[in-house]
A and B are shown apart, each in its own frame.
Chain A
């Protein structure tokens, strides 16, 4: 009966309890609302927990998921963020886009070579960057490592 619903309800219950606890540090007026909500969340999660513990539901939320594609994608997004902080938006975007254009299309009928991936990445990245920087005047992260 350790279904995904049970697990997620448990997670929410923990969040509710944590929120209640953290709100204890606040002033009376500031803690009122969060605590009320925390109680509501706790009650709902507990109810769901009990219901799913009693009923015998079969759940397979991640069936059909190809983790060989999913996990690298998730890691890639996080790495993208870290890279962006370090070397700036444009370089990290080019790296991210190139890699994933190439990686994701491997084995499909539209298999992109590394060269095509990089070119495509540079075009997209450059195009949007230009629009945002010159037309919209929105500065994009420049990166901490390099001091140009």
Chain B
């Protein structure tokens, strides 16, 4: 094994490979930043190019792209409130408000640093803890997925700034939206209204772009000419360094978010979107300044970005050890591995050890490269928003059209994006946040599949109770759900008793 590690080091520091990896990270960042292009797509596009390269180098490049894309999503999330990839949904909550305050660079540097920290954390876990963690991942069966989804839904409480009831309505609406398409269990067509394209259901990114982006665009131009035409971003000296110093003082936040990200990544099927939302939620829960979240503090961005990059490493854990991808981009990497003849499993670490270790070490490096690129690039990227709204708005609409079409090459998706965009505008104006709706949409399939599959399992075993409440991991998750729901209620009661009115 030692020789494998030596060979690995030689490989990654080979100038050509290193350069290719940097290009991969850079390319990934660009793709991630464009809403509608996701990490999965970027990887799928690049896999054919890697045929001609040797296995180690192609894995290095693909790993770099994956890492870059996860970070890149934050750029559009921060600058124009549109998650570039679903993993950056939670970054919009505080990232965009920061931009509106003129602190775009703060947000971008925070994202770069947090992504780097999270990514390295995930990469190290991947390197050292894969086999035991993969076994733990297998213990997640349908009941566990169900309770995980329920726990995820409790995040609605955090995201419903303003009215809890409206948040609940939004969440339920999102859950309903998630049922559009072919029902996973009965095989029926649900709510497709005769559009065959809807058999596949509503594509998350399309709805995301609609709900997050279009309302902001409309808000940009809705006021009379001249009242607030542009967000000015003036580069200030020393911003980057001061932000990093501030972040270093919050290690608990970063480590906790990274842990959440890594573990969510390890659970197959749960990806960056869930990871970042959960980490954001926990950041709020453990913070002493809860009210500041949502108004633009770097803690929110840090939590979201560190967890979604940690998730990358996590998603590769079950992939390399069991051949089961932890998230969609990992599935594409599986394809790449298979093409080079590498079968996931113990073989990877023995027969193909040199290649695997090359990949693993380069993965750690890629995160550092990403941080460097982000650190130096933020200043320049942030200037984009200096364009006056009158020009920025149509350009953003243009990009959303491209983005929503490129996902499934489906014109109907563009229509869906616009439809939800307009609905999103109205709901935003009437006090409904997009967060709960999107959360329902994401978690719906997990909840439904988990619920119905568990019910079938219970039927076979003769005991529903045992299936839902009798399994160790489920019990832990149920306790988390209860804690998640009860704590805020207790806090609210305490507040009211103390005479402090909870702002509505």
User: Which A residues contact B (CB, under 8 angstroms)?
Assistant: 4-5, 7-9, 12, 15-16, 19, 22-23, 25-34, 37-38, 40-41, 44-45, 47-48, 51, 59, 61-62, 64-66, 69-70, 73-74, 77-78, 80-81, 84-85, 89, 93, 96-97, 100-101, 104-110, 112, 120, 124-125, 128, 132, 136-141
Docked-complex contact B165 and A101, CB < 8 angstroms: no
A132–B175 CA distance with the chains assembled, in angstroms: 33
Docked-complex contact B190 and A100, CB < 8 angstroms: no
8 Å CB interface, B383-397 against A = 388-391, 393-395, 397
The 21 sampled A-B contact pairs (Cβ below 8 Å) are A12-B169, A26-B186, A27-B186, A29-B186, A30-B183, A31-B186, A33-B183, A37-B175, A44-B165, A64-B222, A73-B221, A77-B418, A77-B421, A81-B415, A81-B418, A97-B398, A106-B225, A108-B225, A136-B45, A138-B409, A140-B406
8 Å CB interface, B450-489 against A = 451-452
Docked-complex contact B37 and A96, CB < 8 angstroms: no
With a cutoff of 8 Å between Cβ atoms, the chain A residues found around residue B223 in the complex are 64-66, 69
Closest to A62 in B: B429
Docked-complex contact B394 and A97, CB < 8 angstroms: yes
- Of B224, B394, B429, most buried by chain A (CB within 10 Å of CB) is B394
Q: Is the interface of B mostly helix, strand, loop or mixed?
A: helix
Docked-complex contact A104 and B390, CB < 8 angstroms: yes
Known interface pairs A96-B394, A97-B394, A97-B398; A22-B191 also in contact (CB < 8 Å): yes
A77–B224 CA distance with the chains assembled, in angstroms: 19
A78–B397 CA distance with the chains assembled, in angstroms: 11
Docked-complex contact A108 and B165, CB < 8 angstroms: no
The 7 closest A-B pairs by CB, nearest first: A30-B186, A30-B183, A104-B390, A41-B172, A30-B188, A27-B186, A61-B429
Docked-complex contact A29 and B183, CB < 8 angstroms: yes
A25–B186 CA distance with the chains assembled, in angstroms: 12
Docked-complex contact A125 and B398, CB < 8 angstroms: yes
Docked-complex contact A5 and B430, CB < 8 angstroms: yes
With a cutoff of 8 Å between Cβ atoms, the chain B residues found around residue A110 in the complex are 229, 388, 390-391
With a cutoff of 8 Å between Cβ atoms, the chain A residues found around residue B166 in the complex are 5, 48
Q: Per-residue 0/1 for B329-354: is the Cβ within 8 Å of any A Cβ (1 yes, 0 no)?
A: 00000000000000000000000000
Closest to B179 in A: A34
Known interface pairs A30-B187, A137-B45; A109-B391 also in contact (CB < 8 Å): no
With a cutoff of 8 Å between Cβ atoms, the chain B residues found around residue A125 in the complex are 398
Docked-complex contact B398 and A124, CB < 8 angstroms: yes
